[in-house]
Amino acid sequence: MAKTPEYAIIVAGGSGSRMQHELPKQFMEVAGKPILMHTIERFHKYNPAVRMVVVLPQEQLNTWRSLCQKHGFRLFHMTVPGGATRFGSVRNGLDAVMGDGLVAVHDGVRPFVAVETIQAAYEAAATYGSAVVAVSPKDSIRELTAEGSRAVPRAKYKLVQTPQVFQASILRKAYEQPEQEYFTDDASVVESIGESITLVEGSYRNIKITTPEDLLLAEAFAREG
Ligand SMILES: Nc1ccn([C@@H]2O[C@H](COP(=O)(O)OP(=O)(O)OP(=O)(O)O)[C@@H](O)[C@H]2O)c(=O)n1
Ligand SMILES: C[C@](O)(CO)[C@H](O)COP(=O)(O)O
Q: Is the ipTM of this complex over 0.90?
A: yes
Task: Calculate how far, in angstroms, residue 2's C-alpha sits from the geometric centre of ligand 2.
Answer: 34
Hey, which bits of the chain come out as E strands?
A: 6-11, 29-30, 33-34, 51-56, 78-81, 102-107, 130-135, 141-144, 149-152, 159-167, 199-201
pLDDT (0 to 100) of residue 6: 98
Query: In the structure, which protein residues have their CB atom closer than 6 angstroms to any atom of ligand 1?
Result: 11-18, 26, 55, 82-86, 89, 107-109, 208, 210
pLDDT (0 to 100) of residue 225: 79
Angle between helices 35-46 and 115-128 (to 10 degrees): 60
Task: Calculate how far, in angstroms, residue 20's C-alpha sits from the geometric centre of ligand 1.
Answer: 13
- CA separation for the pair 159, 104 (Å, rounded): 18
Would you identify the CATH topology of the domain 6-130+162-224?
Spore Coat Polysaccharide Biosynthesis Protein SpsA; Chain A (3.90.550)
Q: Is 195 in the pocket of ligand 2 (CB under 6 A)?
A: no
Average pLDDT over residues 23-41: 98
What's the predicted TM-score (pTM) here?
Answer: 0.98
Q: What is the pLDDT of residues 73-110, one digit of tens each?
A: 999 999 999 999 999 999 999 999 998 999 999 999 99
Q: What is the pLDDT of residues 100-144, one digit of tens each?
A: 999 999 999 999 999 999 999 999 999 999 999 999 999 999 999
- CA separation for the pair 203, 117 (Å, rounded): 8
**Which residue of 21, 35, 43, 109 sits with most ligand 1 atoms within 8 Å of its CB, as the best mutation to test the pocket?**
109
To the nearest whole percent, how much of the chain has pLDDT over 90?
97
- CA separation for the pair 134, 110 (Å, rounded): 13
pLDDT score of 1 more than 70: no
To the nearest whole percent, how much of the chain has pLDDT over 70?
99
